[in-house]
């Protein structure tokens, strides 16, 4: 029986994608406990991977001195995740549309589009080094 009260966690990890995968595993364990479907889990896993790798790779540029803060909670069947890096940030509006014919052969630039498709909501801070994502459990 899914819990209705909020369950919150927060960790700070170094700019290391292996550490990112460990946090992903914790969040996936939690959503499994709360009865999220396989399809929900697929989209959440993908979105977490994209957002955490973006923070480590493009935000912190793998710098040892920089960390990534990841916070998450589930309340009333909705997962909410915040990911914040210590990089210079970016403007999501500057990311070219990867589905434009001239961009289809580009090897990168699809992560944000996948996050927007698989999550219910994505919000970036004005500076662009903080992203919040939410996903409601499918009924």
Partner 1 sequence: MASQRRIDIEDLGDVTVARFVDKKILDENNIQIIGNQLMDLVDVDGRRKIVLDFGNVEYLSSAALGNIVKLNTRLKSVGGKLVLCSIRPEIHEIFKITQLHKVINIQGTQDEAVAGM
Which residues lie across from 84 on neighbouring strands?
69, 130
Of residues 72 and 111, the one with the C-beta less far from partner 1: 111
3-state helix, strand, coil in the chain (%, to 5): 40, 25, 35
Of residues 22 and 127, the one with the C-beta less far from partner 1: 22
Of residues 5 and 101, the one with the C-beta less far from partner 1: 101
Of residues 2 and 92, the one with the C-beta less far from partner 1: 92
Contacts to partner 1 by CB under 8 A = 17-18, 21, 39, 42, 45-46, 49-50, 53, 57, 98-99, 104-111, 113-114, 117
CB-hemisphere CA count at 13 Å for 119? 27
Min CB(4)–partner 1 separation in Å: 29
- 64: how many CB neighbours lie within 10 A of its CB? 9
Burial of 13-46, coded b for 16+ CB within 10 Å and e otherwise, reads bbbebebbeebbeebeebbeebebeeebeebbbb
């Amino acid at each position: 029986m899914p819990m209705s009260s909020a369950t919150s966690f927060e960790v700070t990890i170094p700019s290391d994608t292996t550490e990112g995968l460990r946090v992903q595993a914790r969040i996936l364990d939690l959503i499994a406990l709360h009865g999220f479907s396989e399809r929900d889990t697929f989209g959440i896993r993908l979105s977490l991977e994209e957002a955490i790798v973006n923070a480590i790779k493009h935000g912190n540029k793998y710098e040892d001195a920089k960390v990534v803060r990841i916070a998450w909670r589930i309340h009333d069947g909705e997962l909410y995740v915040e990911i914040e890096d210590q990089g210079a940030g970016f403007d999501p509006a500057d990311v070219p549309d990867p589905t434009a014919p001239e961009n289809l052969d580009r090897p990168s630039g699809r992560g944000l589009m996948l996050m927007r498709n698989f999550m219910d909501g994505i919000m970036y801070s004005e500076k662009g080094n903080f992203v919040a994502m939410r996903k409601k459990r499918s009924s």
